[in-house]
Structure 1
């Protein structure tokens, strides 16, 4: 895969994944609208939401380790 092709992907940080999960819960948004809002594929949004409990746990663990 060429370098220019790699630039088309939107790499999400843990913070952005956590934010997507929050928005999904607050707005009760469809996965399609979340994909458009966060500029992701529908499959990527689906994967994040399937892993939401793991992502929340990792995010909170990282946040707590930074605070301490």
Structure 2
């Protein structure tokens, strides 16, 4: 499932979630953790990436997209 989140006024993050539930349907901490991890990746100069979660049972692929 593909989800889109606002990062800044000019940028959005597109997340392809290979998990079983959208982040908006999970506990609030799940989305907070995802946004924090992506923020750290962007600060490190990355514009896309992959993140496993839930003991590698699920993953997200993300990229910056212009608003």
TM-score (normalizing by structure 2): 0.31
Q: Rg larger in 1 or in 2? A: 1
TM-score by length of 1: 0.30
**Larger relative contact order (Cα-Cα within 8 Å, sequence gap ≥ 6):** 2
Q: Which has the higher helix share?
A: 1
